[in-house]
Amino acid sequence: MATPSATASAFGARDHARAQQGTKSDTMPVLPASSWPTPPEGIVSEDLVWAETVAGGSYTHKVLARGTELRLTDLTGDACAHVLLYSADRPWERLNAADTVKVLWSAYLGEGHLLLSDQGRVLASITEDTSGRHDALTGTSTLARNTERYGDGTPQSASPAGRELFKLAALKNGLGPRDIPPSVSFFQGVRITADGTTEFTGSAGSGRSVTLRAEQPLTALIVNVPHPLDPRPTYICGHLEVLAYRARPTTPADALWDVTPEGRRAFLNTAEHLTARGIA
């Protein structure tokens, strides 16, 4: 750390800042993304558009083109990726966790599942999943609950709440607290038992990943904080790897279009919307 005298003047502060050039942090975005040392198998480095490691208790965000694939990896077995998606230039159309579960007749996210907007359109599809431990029912943690459990839930604390970090990510994309709906989360599982109670099933282990494909231009907000049902008394959350790369959206020839009648209708709604706007 620089001493106070070293950065007391504008010139000292400038010199200190410039001295950081070339240093690396394991939780800073890699720029350009193509310099990421280990692209996913079958992906050339030049196709990477986002490469970042998100520490526990932190967040990230990015605007993604239609067809981009977003791969999230739990590096330690303790990450929990809470995700919100918005139509990139129409943020009032956003992820609807209730419809994602209700319309597709499945409470459990996994490969082939569609993430739906409140307009009945497909925001993203899950193309790969090696974890199987996800949650579309609970949402993320709150300031009040984290303060009760850990003693603090503010963004600058050692135990920031997911909703508080979503507010910061939203603000950087011109959105406010009223624009934050219930989120879905990946890598910490929740099941509903026969008597209707919620069972926390935890992680499937380190190195597991899930890949989402953007079916229209998206703004993605990602928060990495402990799941609100995690029973451990301390705030534990491991690193999350975030990689995005150029790919292609689904087409009517893709089997994913016809998995369910409801899914096909959602894809048709999406195609009609994008075609009318000249995007597809």
Give CA–CA dist 147/250, Å, rounded.
Answer: 43
Total domain count for the chain? Answer: 1
Q: Is the pLDDT of residue 64 over 50?
A: yes
Share of the chain above pLDDT 90, in %: 89
Query: In this structure, are strands 122-129 and 134-135 parallel, antiparallel, or unpaired?
Result: unpaired
Residue 34 has what DSSP assignment? G
Burial class from Cβ neighbours inside 10 Å (0-12, 13-18, 19+) for residue 74 reads buried
Any idea what the Cα angle at residue 256 is, between residues 193 and 212, rounded to 5°?
Answer: 70
Enclosing domain of residue 90? 50-276
Cis peptide preceding 32, ω within 30 of 0:
yes
Q: Mean pLDDT over residues 66-80, rounded?
A: 98
Q: Mean pLDDT over residues 37-65, rounded?
A: 97
Q: Is the pLDDT of residue 271 over 90?
A: yes
Q: Is residue 111, in this structure, part of any structural domain at all?
A: yes
CB 217 within 8 A of CB 47: no
| Amino acid residing at 61 | H
**Which has more pLDDT, 22 or 227?**
227
Q: Is residue 214, in this structure, part of any structural domain at all?
A: yes
Q: In the numeric block, which tokens belong to residue 203?
A: 């992680």
* Closest of 228, 216, 249 to residue 90, by C-alpha: 216
Residue 131: CB atoms within 10 Å: 23
Q: Is residue 38, in this structure, part of any structural domain at all?
A: no
Q: Is residue 9, in this structure, part of any structural domain at all?
A: no
Give CA–CA dist 182/136, Å, rounded.
Answer: 9
Cα distance from N-terminal residue to C-terminal residue, the chain: 51
Q: Is residue 206, in this structure, part of any structural domain at all?
A: yes
pLDDT of residue 10: 76
- List CB contacts of 160: < 8 A, sequence separation 6 or more: 57, 58, 146, 153, 154, 225
Q: In the numeric block, which tokens belong to residue 94?
A: 């956003």
pLDDT of residue 280: 82
Query: In this structure, are strands 81-87 and 184-186 parallel, antiparallel, or unpaired?
Result: antiparallel
Q: In the numeric block, which tokens belong to residue 74?
A: 């739990």
Q: Is residue 43, in this structure, part of any structural domain at all?
A: no
- List CB contacts of 16: < 8 A, sequence separation 6 or more: 2, 6, 7
Q: Return the bridge partners of 58, or none.
A: 224
Q: Is residue 145, in this structure, part of any structural domain at all?
A: yes
Q: Give pLDDT tens digits for 131-157.
A: 999 999 999 999 999 999 999 999 999
Q: Is residue 60, in this structure, part of any structural domain at all?
A: yes
pLDDT band for position 21 (50/70/90)? low
Q: In the numeric block, which tokens belong to residue 32?
A: 């350009």
Its pTM surpasses 0.85: yes
pLDDT band for position 172 (50/70/90)? very high
pLDDT of residue 17: 56
Give CA–CA dist 94/216, Å, rounded.
Answer: 12
pLDDT band for position 23 (50/70/90)? very low
**DSSP state letters, 216-264:** S-EEEEEEE---TT---SS-----EEEEEE------TTSGGGGSSHHHH
